[in-house]
A and B are shown apart, each in its own frame.
Chain A
Amino acid sequence: MKSQTLLKSVSLLSLLLMFSCFKDKKTEYASAEEIPVSREMIAELTAPPHVPAPVGKRKAKKLIVKMEILEEEGEITDGVRYVYWTFGGSVPGSFIRARVGDEIEFHLQNHPDNKLPHNIDLHAVNGPGGGAESSFVAPGHEKVFSFKVLNPGLYVYHCATAPVGMHIANGMYGLILIEPEGGLPPVDKEYYVMQGDFYTKGANGERGLQPFDMQKAVDERADYVVFNGKVGSLTGDGALTAKVGETVRLFVGNGGPGLVSSFHVIGEIFDKVYVEGGDLVNTNVQTTLIPAGGAAIVEFKVEVPGTFILVDHSIFRAFNKGALGMLKVEGEENKKIFSGELMDNIYIPEGPGIQTMPTTDEIKESDIPAKSFAEQMEFGKQIYGQTCIACHQSEGQGIAGAFPPLAKSDYLNADVDRAISAVLHGLSGEITVNGEKYNSIMTKQMISQEEVANVMTYVYNSWGNNKTVVTPAMVKKVSGK
């Protein structure tokens, strides 16, 4: 019995020793330069928004990257064509994933159909031009150069052939990720997003094949600011996806050439940002700045389902120039974190009942009474534009379910006195207009009797109504004053 225990403990001890032996074997290298490489491996390259598999715990290798340059026509937005210059046939170019200590043998292949020489400057390279000088390649040729990866981080690569700005503006940029020893912490979803600005001869949306506009590029007046090379690449079928509870990591780059990105995801807070793609990690970030020719890694857990919008928060770029993408999250609602809409109430500042518009002034009769029907219409239109348009809308169409229409309105045309009363005294409770029920509140309008007559004449003589002419006398009669 005793000997057995002894044996057990001895074997346990030896096992421990063995482990510690293995542990000792794992050498710390003085610098990344010292890390030896074993074996060759062809690098997996992916088109956006996908990224290659993480490096995980693999050892440093000789990594062979074969990148083909293609000049090809594509669509920048519906009906607008553009000749892109690409690394690997996509904008941004293929995503390269390596680890510290890898020795990258880079093959840059310039397709024979191409018109121009190109090269590549990888920000992950320690060497002149980031490889640009060694990779300058004529159409129909291939250049090979090699570099040792020393610094971890997310880096931009781009073409640096004259005119540099034009090569970048046409889409020649992408990202190379250098993972630290052991890899980045695992997450559930990883995506590749890169912003770029485009300068076309025609204005945004002008159809046909649009050439590059050098002058606009020099002035930094972009017609398109987009994620992944075109308007809508990350919306609809292209939207990124995740499930509730997953952690999403976005590798976000900015190719420029001109603009800096204020990257933001509407409805999410970045739990972690690897600032500028480096080692510094910031937490709880709303918007992160990504310089042209720079990158950032952002991570966040999606807690609730819904569509989250990726934008450049220089917001006109998002809604008018294309810098808008979507992350669709599916899964169970979590009312604790986000309730959704609970109620839609009328907001009334001072208690219930029909409200008057806050004003201290007595209603003044207009100094210039309308002398003719034409003037009534003219003044009435002005009043409508100031007073009624917000709810009833510019063409009297109203807003379904909230504000009844004034155009071709049966309720309006049926009873002019009732309509005058509504303007003078306000109206609340359920009414039926053109077959639709409305239960809302219209406030008493603080306008003069003359103005009521004018605006109602305008409404009755617009949008298919019955052309009643409302006079100040009719208004006076209803008001009882």
Chain B
Amino acid sequence: MRTKFFRLSFVLLFIHMFSFGQSEGMVRIDGARYIPLYGRDSTVVAVNDFQLDVYPVTNQEYLQFVKSVPKWQKSKAKKIFADGSYLRNWKNDLELNDTELLNSPVTYVSWFAAKAYCECQGKRLPTMDEWEYAAMADETVKDARVKKSYNEKILSWYEAPRSNENEIGQNAKNFWGIHDLHGLVWEWTSDFNSVLLSGESRKDNEKDNNLFCGSASLGSTDLMNYAAFMRYAFRGSVKANYTIKNLGFRCAKDADNIK
């Protein structure tokens, strides 16, 4: 009887995995070639099939992580890998401040910490191209970047204060079934600093990196560029050991691993 049940559940699990081809809490994203707003000379970028977490990593999940990996606890993390504000909203190594919610995204984490977390789960941080690819979808289409409503929504979040204190999942899932890529927190990507932004945006205009060439043209693409400008500007302003109140992360995985 007991073995039967065991076998059944195993079969069910197997069917589950087979039919969806994805790990728990992740969704599969079909890769494609697309042109990022800017980046590597505005050329076409190929994104392979990959999986991405449905939600950003929460305080609760991060708490489990630091319980099992003590070297990433608040008091033990090395300053070279996480600056002085690391887990600033935590009371101590294993407790959040009373005002914080377990189901809010974890923030005040460095790139090194985020990377370690994902690796601990057998995952990795998404690349910037992967992240941007998944995030250009709205509720109905894969690439909503030309839609006015999509861009306005993103821009309005940039202006909304304290959104990091919200719980995950309050923003509708997008075409791929992913929540909160926009509207909650900024998110680390594995190669966040591969697009170099000097901090003097007007100068970047003249540089060969073409970051801001879009700003010279008028039309519908402008609004979409502006929404993305701010993301790239943000990424350009951080270093890997920075920990920031509005910056969290989620993990990704190659699709091939589980196919």
Residues of A bordering B, CB below 8 Å:
71-73, 83, 112-117, 119, 128-129, 132-141, 160-164, 166, 170, 201, 211-212, 214-215, 218
Contact = CB atoms under 8 A, between A and B. Distances in A.
Given A141-B242, A211-B156, A163 B161 contact: no
Contacts of A133: 198-200, 203
Given A162-B229, A162-B233, A140 B222 contact: no
B242 A138 contact: yes
Given A72-B161, A133-B203, A136-B200, A218 B229 contact: no
Contact of A163 (B152, B199, B229): B229
Contacts of B161: 71-73, 83, 113, 115
A132 B197 CA distance: 12
Closest 3 CB pairs of A and B: A136-B199, A117-B237, A162-B201
Contacts of A141: 242
A117 B160 CA distance: 15
Contacts of A164: 201-202
B48 interface: no
A80 to B, nearest CB: 14
A460 to B, nearest CB: 56
Interface in B205-259: 211-212, 215, 218, 222-223, 226, 229-230, 232-234, 236-238, 242-246
Interface of B: 85, 88, 152, 155-156, 158-162, 186, 197-204, 211-212, 215, 218, 222-223, 226, 229-230, 232-234, 236-238, 242-246
A137 B229 contact: no
B43 to A, nearest CB: 21
A463 to B, nearest CB: 48
A139 B199 CA distance: 14
Nearest to A164: B201
Nearest to A135: B199
Nearest to A131: B200
Contact of A140 (B85, B201, B212): B85
Contact of B246 (A128, A137, A139): A139
A138 B226 contact: no
A130 to B, nearest CB: 9
Contacts of B215: 162-163
Contacts of A162: 197, 201, 204, 211-212, 215, 229-230, 232-233
Nearest to A117: B237
Contacts of A201: 152
A84 B236 CA distance: 23
Contact of A128 (B155, B197, B203, B238): B203
B100 to A, nearest CB: 14
Contacts of A136: 198-200, 236-237
